[in-house]
Amino acid sequence: MTTQMKLPSDYLKQGWCQESFARDADGISVPPDDTGAVSWCHLGAAKAAFGPAAEEDIRHHRYMDALQEVIIRKHSLSVLCVNDNIYDPDKGGQEIVVEEAMEAERRAGLR
């Protein structure tokens, strides 16, 4: 029986943070794969989903390329400087990053 991979959007649905790859329940910055992590930024969610060998995983590269396209197009950016501060937590920031992650997953063939 194969286990389905937990996707970046799954992590972001659980919790989203800014200015850190991941945070624990106390808001302390932790590594994305830390068992105490409860929230992630876009990059942290990707690192958690694809694991320590992400750089060698073609799915990770396809996802990151797709995510870059989605964010650049959605926010009318000329280049992507990954900075979660383009999202306003008071204006649906978590919902927006989840939607972007899901769109990138679709484009990368992960969904």
Q: pLDDT for 43-74, tens place per residue?
A: 999 999 999 888 899 999 999 999 999 988 88
Q: DSSP 3-state helix, strand, coil percentages of the chain (rounded to 5)?
A: 50, 10, 40
Q: pLDDT for 93-108, tens place per residue?
A: 899 999 999 999 999 9
Beta bridge partners of 37: 24
Provide the whole-model pTM. 0.88
d(CA 71, CA 2): 32
